[in-house]
Amino acid sequence: MYPMTFGVEEEFLVIDALDGELVPRSKELLPEARQFLGEEVSPELNLCQIEVGTPVCRETTELRDHLARLRRGLCLAGTELDLRIAATGTHPFTSWAEQEIDLSSERFSRIEDLYRIVARQQVICGCHVHVGIDDPDLTIEVMNHVRPHLGALLALSANSPFWHGRDTGYDSYRMQVWERWPTAGLPPVLADRAEYDALVSRLQGVGAIEDSTFLYWHVRPSAHYPTLEFRIGDVCLHVDDTVPYAALIRGLAWTTAMRCLEGSRPPIPEDDLILSAIWRAGRYGVSDELVSPIDWCLKPAVEVLSETLDFARPGLDAHDDWDLVRDWVAQVLRDGNGATRQRQAFERDGDPHSVIARIGLETVPA
C-alpha cells in the first residue's frame, strides 16, 4: 500500500482584536489575507468566518509548517484592521443572530434562501482532513469501514463547549448545531462509487441537494480532489493539536484501505450504534466513558482511544507518525481537549472574555 498524502482545511471565527466579539468583517480581512496567502484563504458562509487550506502534504512536519504559516498570515492581515482569528468551534459569547451571511456569493445566497435559520445559525468552525486515495471504489470502501472510529476523532478534537455565553455541557456543541443540516451526519453504507453517484443523482432529482458538495456527511468523497474528506472534528485550538489529529486520520484511512484491499472487511455495525458513539463523544469528550469501536460497549476513554490507536498503528507506522500521535493522545487524556482548556479559562474568573483571550493565544503559534 502506497504512502498517503493529506491536507487540512481550517475554519476560523473573525473577532474584534480589542473585545473579542464576533464581527461580520471577513470581506475586509480576505483581500488583506490574500496578499500574503493567495488562494489558500477563502470566504465562508457567514461573514464572521474565514477558511484556509494547506497544499497537498506528505510529512507531518510539512503540514505543520503550512498550518502555522496560514494562521500567522491571517493574524498579520488582521493587524491593521484590528481583527484577529479564533480557532474554536463556537464563539464563547457572541450570538449568531448578530451575524450576516455573505449574500454577495450566489452559492451562499442560495443556501440562505433554502435553509433560512439553519444556515444563519451555522456560526461554527470545523477542521476538514483530506486523505489521498486514487481509487474511487476504494474511497467508498474506506468511508464505509472507518465510520466506527468517528466518535474517537470527535472526542479528541472537541473544542466548542460554549454557546451564547453559556456552558452547554457538551465538549462539542458545534456538532449539535452542525447536525441541523438535512444532509449532515453519518454517510450511508454504499457498495461502490457507482452507487454513490446514483444516490447523488437521486437527491438532486428530489431537490435535496444541488450537487455533491451539499452532502455534509462526517466523512465523504471530495467533490474536487481524489481524496476522502473527514469533516467530523472541531477546528483545533493549536496547530500542535491539528497535526497529530490529521496524522491519526491518515493512519486510520491507510489501515482501513489496506484491510479492504486484502479482503479483510469486518461487519459494519448498525448506524444507531455509531451515532450513539458520536453523540457521546461530543457530549463528554475524553472526560467520561466512550463507546468502543471494537465490541460496542462503554469503556473508559483511555481504553477506547487505545483501541483506536492500535487499529491505526499500521498506517501510523507506515508514515512514521506513531510516536507523534501516541504522545498527543496521551497528552489529551492527561490535560484534556480544547473544550477542557476553554473551560479552564472560564473557571479562573467566570468571564467568557477570558475564554476568547485563551483561544486567541493558542490560535496563532509563536
Q: Give the pLDDT band (50/70/90) at residue 55.
A: very high
The pLDDT of residue 57 is: 98
The pLDDT of residue 275 is: 97
116-135 in b/e form (b: 16+ CB < 10 A) is eeebbbbbbbbbbbbbbbee
Per-residue pLDDT at 299 exceeds 90: yes
Query: Taking a C-beta distance cutoff of 8 angstroms, is the pair 252, 175 a contact?
Result: no
Per-residue pLDDT at 64 exceeds 70: yes
Instruction: Say how many Å lie between the first and final Cα of the chain, rounded.
Output: 37
Per-residue pLDDT at 33 exceeds 80: yes
The pLDDT of residue 268 is: 87
| pLDDT, tens digit, 9 for 90 and up, residues 154-203 | 999 999 999 999 999 999 999 999 999 989 999 999 999 999 999 999 99
Rg (CA), the chain: 19
- Which has more pLDDT, 98 or 7? 7
Q: Give the pLDDT band (50/70/90) at residue 2.
A: confident
- For domain 6-341, give its CATH number from 3.30.590.20, 3.40.50.300, 3.40.1160.10, 3.30.360.10: 3.30.590.20
Q: Give the pLDDT band (50/70/90) at residue 366.
A: confident
Q: Give the pLDDT band (50/70/90) at residue 11.
A: very high
The pLDDT of residue 132 is: 98
Rounded to whole angstroms, what are the CA distances from 128 to 64, 83, 131, 162?
15, 24, 10, 21
> Quick one: what percent of the chain has pLDDT higher than 90?
93
Per-residue pLDDT at 1 exceeds 70: no
Kindly report the pTM of this predicted structure.
0.97
